[in-house]
Structure 1
Amino acid sequence: MITSTHRSTHRSTLGSTHRSARRPAAVLVVSFLLAGCGGGATATTDPEPGGIAAKGGTGSPSAPAPRVSPGAAPRQLPGLGPKTLAKVPPETRQAVVVTGRDRNSSKSTVVLYERTASGWQAGVSWPAHNALKGWTDHHRAGDLRSPIGVYGLTDTGGLLPDPGTSLPYDRSGGFTIGGTGFEGEPLAGSFDYVIAINYNRKPGTTPLDWTRPLGDGRGGGIWLHVDHDGPTQGCVSLRKEHMKALLRALDPDRDPVVVMGDAAALRR
């Protein structure tokens, strides 16, 4: 459990320790290019950085948190098969389900589910982008596919001030990005808000941390971040107002995870 005192201390530690230890800007850019997503074919600066599965458009600043739908709730997360469900920790009561259109598509939908006494309640469905070439069961650095799996959500950050999340938030200039994406769209603002996905990263650290438990070859820097109206290198991107709503809704006491992959893979 992360108390308000712990959260405050953790933020202060992240802000001072990681910023003072951060690499020079030139090294940052190289590291992001080698290991992250969010950049595009012609990106020239700061495409992004980033565990193994582990517990752990512009919109209105007053966008509400995802709504919970009334009515009967399913006992299991819908759209998921037994192998995927088995990876969701029993203590998890929040699940961000990212469903890709198909194995090779860069478009997907995101729904935040909340587990209640009566079952899993679904929030609204949000459009999203994932990696240019779709999805993979064995992500490698530079393969332009998003990793399929169930991963913890423990750490957040961004270029802009904390919008009101209960998770540790690292505000830093290290989230600055420029250049253009795969479809020529500007990348500026993509990292205004980010949520680190615990694929090949060390949970409990700023999203800018470069620790790669599986090695650099397995990629990293897989985030939920602000959509730039085009495919990513490996991340999942949402419209700005939806990222703010998701950040406000996630609760560390509910052990949130992301369940992500193409629809066929998630049904296994």
Structure 2
Amino acid sequence: MRLAGGVMRAVASAAAGLVLLVGCGFAGQGTGRGDDHAGGRAPGRHGAGSGGADAARAAPLTRVPGVGPELRARIPAASRQVVAVYGRGADSPDATLVLYDKGAEGWEKKGSWAAHNGRRGWTTGHHEGDRRSPVGVFTLTDAGGVLADPGARLPYTHTAAFTPPAYWSKNTRHDFDYVVAVNYNRVPGRSPLDPERPEGQAKGGGIWLHLDHGSGTSGCVSITKEGMAALLRALDPARRPVVVMGDRAHLAG
């Protein structure tokens, strides 16, 4: 098990029975129930994605498709991997996640998966409990999960502390088998379980990429187990990966 800085404190807290606040669960405030994961199932979406070897072979792109000048300017110049999350609409929980890799000739699509985002859609002013995913560009530096490391290049924290609480609905029990932390209001370089919120608790946090359970989340982005395993094996810290996420209108702005 590889433990990133600060994880021992987070694991110890979990073991002591403290409930960690994360965007898609472990919610110690609000209803305190797991039924915020139990929204309507989206027919034909769960597990419908394709990736890796199934990605279409296309000519390299000069820029990441669908991302307008405002967000494009926020992608660090050194970033050569982009996870683009294309939300169907501002108030929709449905999305598509696409992995792009930059080579000598431009950006190439490496995989695509059906996805879900916050069950109330998207927001440019995310706050605790709004059930919306934050629009923006965020670095990806840390991963982990209940399951053993599938070959991740990012630092991977393997611990049962990721297991959702027993009172959550049954279809969410494997949500955090694999996760990648989205660096929204968190300290990079620590386990995804680390609870620190540099911008304050009211700004929310614990936004992750994780396994899909068939409906919208509390703010995270979810895809199939196979998709998450593929992402973990592909995301390379040497390539400075980022996620660019939002509904299509905001992304194009």
With normalisation by structure 2, the TM-score equals: 0.86
Partner secondary structure for residue 231 of structure 1: coil
Partner of 1:83 in structure 2?
Answer: 70
The equivalent position to 2:8 in structure 1, one of 11, 14, 17, is: 17
Partner secondary structure for residue 172 of structure 2: coil
**C-alpha distance in structure 1 between counterparts of 2:133 and 2:220, whole Å:** 6
1:58-137 equivalence runs, <5 A: 65=52, 69-137=56-124
1:48-67 equivalence runs, <5 A: 65=52
Partner secondary structure for residue 200 of structure 1: coil
Q: Could you list the per-position Cα deviations for residues 79-116 of structure 1 after superposition, in whole angstroms to 9, with x for gaps in the alignment?
A: 11100100000000000000000000000000000001
Q: How far apart are 1:58 and its partner, in Å?
A: 7.9
**C-alpha distance in structure 2 between counterparts of 1:223 and 1:89, whole Å:** 20
8 Å CA contact 2:3–2:155 kept in 1: the answer is: no
Q: How far apart are 1:151 and its partner, in Å?
A: 0.2
Partner secondary structure for residue 89 of structure 1: coil
8 Å CA contact 1:179–1:188 kept in 2: the answer is: no
Note closer, same or farther for the CA distance 1:22–1:65 as it changes in structure 2 (3 Å cut): farther
The equivalent position to 1:166 in structure 2, one of 132, 135, 153, is: 153
Q: How far apart are 1:246 and its partner, in Å?
A: 0.6
Note closer, same or farther for the CA distance 1:23–1:125 as it changes in structure 2 (3 Å cut): closer
Partner of 2:230 in structure 1?
Answer: 245
Aligned residue pair count: 241
**C-alpha distance in structure 2 between counterparts of 1:68 and 1:37, whole Å:** 28
- Alpha-carbon RMSD across the aligned residues, in angstroms, is 2.8
8 Å CA contact 1:144–1:233 kept in 2: the answer is: yes
Paired residue type of 1:106: P
**C-alpha distance in structure 1 between counterparts of 2:251 and 2:108, whole Å:** 18
**C-alpha distance in structure 2 between counterparts of 1:196 and 1:16, whole Å:** 13
Where does the alignment leave 5 or more consecutive residues of structure 2 unmatched? 38-45
Q: Could you list the per-position Cα deviations for residues 125-159 of structure 1 after superposition, in whole angstroms to 9, with x for gaps in the alignment?
A: 21001001000000000001000000000000000
Note closer, same or farther for the CA distance 1:252–1:152 as it changes in structure 2 (3 Å cut): same
Where does the alignment leave 5 or more consecutive residues of structure 1 unmatched? 1-7, 49-56
Task: Determine if the alignment matches structure 1 residue 143 to structure 2 residue 134.
Answer: no
Note closer, same or farther for the CA distance 1:152–1:66 as it changes in structure 2 (3 Å cut): farther
**C-alpha distance in structure 2 between counterparts of 1:16 and 1:82, whole Å:** 37
Give the percent of matched residue pairs that are identical in Structure 1 and Structure 2.
46
Partner of 2:42 in structure 1?
Answer: none
**C-alpha distance in structure 1 between counterparts of 2:3 and 2:17, whole Å:** 25
Partner secondary structure for residue 27 of structure 1: coil
8 Å CA contact 1:131–1:144 kept in 2: the answer is: yes
8 Å CA contact 2:51–2:112 kept in 1: the answer is: no
8 Å CA contact 2:181–2:209 kept in 1: the answer is: yes
Paired residue type of 2:187: K
